[in-house]
Amino acid sequence: MQVVGVTTQQFVYIASRERKFRIGEILIIDDPELHLRGEVVETKSFNRFLPLTAEQSPLIDPDVWNGLEQVGFRLGEETIHLAKVRILTDIPYPVAVGAAVHLPSFAEVADLLLPCEPDSGLVLGVILGTEDMQGTLPDQLKKLAPLYRKGEGILPQKGVPFVFDHKAMQEYPHIGIFGGSGSGKSFGMRVILEELMEKRIPTLVFDPHYEMSFNTPFEGMEEKTAKKYASNTEILTVGRETGVNFEDLTSDDLASLLRAAGGNFTEGMDNALKAIHRPKDSFISFSQKLDYCIRLAEKEEETRAEIRKNYGENSPFEKMIDNMARQAGHPSSLRGISWRLHRLNREGIFQKDISAILNALQRRRLTVIRGPIWLLTVFSAYLIRKLYGMRRDYIDALQRGEPPADKFPPFVIVTDEAHNFARKGTEFVSPARSIFREVAQEGRKYGVFLILATQRPALLDETITAQLNTKIIFRTVRASDIDVIREETDISGEEAGRLPYLPSGTAFVSSAIVGRTVSVRIRCARTQAPRSLNPFAELDRDFGGTDAELFKVISKFLPLHFGQITLILPEIENALDRTVTVDEVQASLEALAAEGKLEKIEGPFGPTYQGVNE
């Protein structure tokens, strides 16, 4: 390998007869005075059978051409592998054409590739282009990141592990995970969460896909690791184990909850809500006031009589309701509030509080919040505001030298489908957007960090996107998303061109912490989402048996005349544990006959079914 051309102080061309170059790999240029390292950014191979002309290959400019000939390459006569290499250090003078180049041992590039010891960072995968260094890796780095390939299973690590120095997030906070469907986001997120658990970092995960549980080991991985992770995880469903404490809600909180409950939440509703809601209202007190106001507008006489019966003549309560009803405006606004309120209430959201979440985070656990996405986006707005507030109060008190009221740990917030939590634009304002923005901009000060995954980076709020100092970019096909990625990262045009073709699980990591874009193969996860049964297998297991079950029941009544079905119906219903009609039984008998399991004999009064060997 030799230097064959120099364009600027930053780039050189290196050619080889034997070795194909890989994008991302690091090469060492043997310059007697400078210890020069460069990264391959483009590659090209020329076959000797292909006549070579300058016009055909933009990679080659005339200088490189001359350089190649100068050091003895015979253009058009032999195979030549060529790499464009970006020099990684500032150099005082250009590199000489002809200088020899070698592949580094790990020690020669450790400072570039390994920012910290693996046990003080997150081991996320393997740096692509470093495969040849596996041999020179120290033993303790050799088996940290086994890989996975569908069809082949778990493969040994090959290359330098990619260790993310998460402690540097204090300076460069927040991570974005971008990629199209099936590109490896969820798998990658699982790997990150496993690593966060290894470090016992309190983490709050919003899990709209019900996929983030850790008790099932990945095939071929250790059972005990999954056990350890599972015992570190708290899974809570909104409306079942966690929810909103109604008494805590401000009118604005409640408005944003109702807004997210669906439909068009009008300004009239917002006004009406503020007319009726008071601090410390319980769900009962609020819905009662609301209800009276609605009924007062619809059936005044009757409602007034009821209020007087319950509260007496001229009660302050009656005055209050009168006032509220007047301020609240049109009853349609009140009804709009009412159905939204009851929709949320039916989800159970007001029956629980967040104490289980506080408790889990205090104990440094991975806390997974599940629910339908619309409910999660609402709940997250409330929850994050609350938790972030607690953390901020704690730190602010410490900084002012006051004794803090409640101790609250730093924590990480993780969510998939982030564009639903914080969508850009004005036509639909996600309830959680403002709090996500606040954490994106100021969370660093308080030790609160975001990890946001989305398949639509183009739809994610720009203020937030701009604060994601590390971006992990998986396969992306959609042009508008690629445009955003190009604007928001330092990936090159060449790399952007490869985005649509990245295999699942391979990503570019563009990070202020890493300093340059690296291409990474995410390691094999140690756990997996509980296997959902293949729906076709489920059909056979849970639904396919109807005819077969029926066959068992009727076998003792064979031969069975069509007219006798009614007589044995109760017995069949008992055995199948459900109601059955005569038509259904006959259809099953027909199906069994068609399959050859029964014999059907036509007769003048309808068919008789009998066993095949009778």
When the beta carbons of 43 and 506 are compared against ligand ADP, the nearer one is 506
Binding segment toward ligand ADP, per CB under 6 A, in 176-184, 251-259, 332-340, 604-612: 176-184
Give the footprint of ligand ADP on residues 511-540 (CB under 6 A). Answer: 522
Binding segment toward ligand ADP, per CB under 6 A, in 71-79, 109-117, 164-172, 182-190: 182-190
Query: Which of Mg ion, ligand ADP, none sits in contact with 67, Cβ below 5 to 8 A by type?
Result: none
Q: Describe the crossing of helices 283-298 and 267-276 by its angle, rounded to 10 degrees.
A: 110
> For the residues of 168-199, what is the DSSP string, one character each?
GGGTS--EEEE--TTSSHHHHHHHHHHHHHHT
Could you tell me the CA-to-CA distances from 343 to 253, 276, 339, 348, 592 in Å, in that order? 16, 19, 6, 9, 47
Give the footprint of Mg ion on residues 446-485 (CB under 5 A). Answer: none
CB 443 within 8 Å of CB 449: yes
Give the footprint of ligand ADP on residues 218-247 (CB under 6 A). Answer: none
When the beta carbons of 155 and 587 are compared against ligand ADP, the nearer one is 155
Q: Describe the crossing of helices 582-594 and 565-576 by its angle, rounded to 10 degrees.
A: 90
The binder of ligand ADP chosen from 184, 202, 243, 443 (CB under 6 A): 184
Query: Which of ligand ADP, Mg ion, none sits in contact with 511, Cβ below 5 to 8 A by type?
Result: none
C-beta neighbour count of 57 within 10 angstroms: 15
Binding mask 175-214 for Mg ion (x = CB under 5 A): -----------x----------------------------
Tell me, by CB under 5 A, how many residues bind Mg ion: 1
- Ranked by CB distance to Mg ion, the top (closest) residue is 186
When the beta carbons of 506 and 511 are compared against ligand ADP, the nearer one is 506
> For the residues of 579-602, what is the DSSP string, one character each?
---HHHHHHHHHHHHHTTSEEEE-
Q: Compute the half-sphere exposure of residue 304: CA atoms within 13 Å on the CB side of its CA.
A: 10
When the beta carbons of 158 and 274 are compared against ligand ADP, the nearer one is 158
When the beta carbons of 504 and 527 are compared against ligand ADP, the nearer one is 504
The binder of ligand ADP chosen from 5, 24, 67, 179 (CB under 6 A): 179
The distance of closest approach from Cβ of residue 505 to ligand ADP in the complex, given in angstroms and rounded to an integer, is 2
Binding segment toward ligand ADP, per CB under 6 A, in 177-185, 271-279, 322-330, 441-449: 177-185
Give the footprint of ligand ADP on residues 186-205 (CB under 6 A). Answer: 186-187
Of 65, 74, 81, the closest CA to residue 23 belongs to 81
Query: Which of ligand ADP, Mg ion, none sits in contact with 504, Cβ below 5 to 8 A by type?
Result: ligand ADP
CB 44 within 8 Å of CB 82: yes
Angle value at C-alpha 492, between 109 and 48, nearest 5 degrees:
80
CB 169 within 8 Å of CB 462: no
Residue 136 corresponds to which tokens in the numbers above?
């020179």
When the beta carbons of 126 and 468 are compared against ligand ADP, the nearer one is 126
The distance of closest approach from Cβ of residue 416 to Mg ion in the complex, given in angstroms and rounded to an integer, is 6
Query: Which of Mg ion, ligand ADP, none sits in contact with 187, Cβ below 5 to 8 A by type?
Result: ligand ADP
Query: Which of Mg ion, ligand ADP, none sits in contact with 522, Cβ below 5 to 8 A by type?
Result: ligand ADP
Report the sign of the C-alpha dihedral through residues 545, 547, 550, 551, in that order: negative
- Ranked by CB distance to ligand ADP, the top (closest) residue is 505
When the beta carbons of 390 and 525 are compared against ligand ADP, the nearer one is 525
Identity (one letter) of the amino acid at 189?
M
Could you tell me the CA-to-CA distances from 258 to 111, 114, 335, 482 in Å, in that order? 53, 49, 12, 35
- Report the largest interatomic distance among the alpha carbons of the chain, rounded to a whole angstrom: 109
Query: Which of Mg ion, ligand ADP, none sits in contact with 177, Cβ below 5 to 8 A by type?
Result: none
Binding mask 31-60 for ligand ADP (x = CB under 6 A): ------------------------------
With residue 436 as reference, give the H or E element that holds it.
Answer: helix 433-446
Rounded to whole angstroms, the Cα distance separating 456 from 425 reads: 14
Tell me, by CB under 6 A, how many residues bind ligand ADP: 13
Nearby residues of 189 by Cβ (< 8 Å), 6 or more positions away: 177, 212, 414, 416, 451, 453
Query: Which of Mg ion, ligand ADP, none sits in contact with 121, Cβ below 5 to 8 A by type?
Result: none
Binding segment toward ligand ADP, per CB under 6 A, in 50-58, 175-183, 284-292, 591-599: 175-183
Of 526, 529, 534, 422, the closest CA to residue 174 belongs to 422
Specify whether the backbone of 88 is left (phi greater than 0), alpha (psi in -120 to 50) or beta.
alpha
When the beta carbons of 43 and 504 are compared against ligand ADP, the nearer one is 504
When the beta carbons of 28 and 485 are compared against ligand ADP, the nearer one is 485
Binding segment toward ligand ADP, per CB under 6 A, in 60-68, 174-182, 325-333, 605-613: 174-182
Q: Bridge partners of 403?
A: none
Query: Which of ligand ADP, Mg ion, none sits in contact with 527, Cβ below 5 to 8 A by type?
Result: none
When the beta carbons of 218 and 246 are compared against ligand ADP, the nearer one is 218
C-beta neighbour count of 438 within 10 angstroms: 17
Nearby residues of 172 by Cβ (< 8 Å), 6 or more positions away: 469, 470, 511, 512, 513
Residue 230 corresponds to which tokens in the numbers above?
């599972």
Binding mask 479-518 for ligand ADP (x = CB under 6 A): -------------------------xx-------------
When the beta carbons of 203 and 506 are compared against ligand ADP, the nearer one is 506
Binding mask 142-171 for ligand ADP (x = CB under 6 A): ------x-x---------------------
Report the sign of the C-alpha dihedral through residues 465, 469, 474, 475, in that order: positive
When the beta carbons of 370 and 444 are compared against Mg ion, the nearer one is 370
Residue 423: helix, strand or coil by DSSP? Answer: strand
Binding segment toward ligand ADP, per CB under 6 A, in 84-92, 183-191, 214-222, 392-400: 183-191
Q: Does 420 contact Mg ion by CB under 5 A?
A: no
The distance of closest approach from Cβ of residue 295 to Mg ion in the complex, given in angstroms and rounded to an integer, is 47
When the beta carbons of 183 and 588 are compared against Mg ion, the nearer one is 183
Residue 325 corresponds to which tokens in the numbers above?
């009803």
Give the residue ranges of DSSP H helices in 468-564.
479-488, 493-498, 535-538, 546-554
> Where does this chain bind ligand ADP (CB under 6 A)?
148, 150, 179, 181-187, 504-505, 522
> Where does this chain bind Mg ion (CB under 5 A)?
186
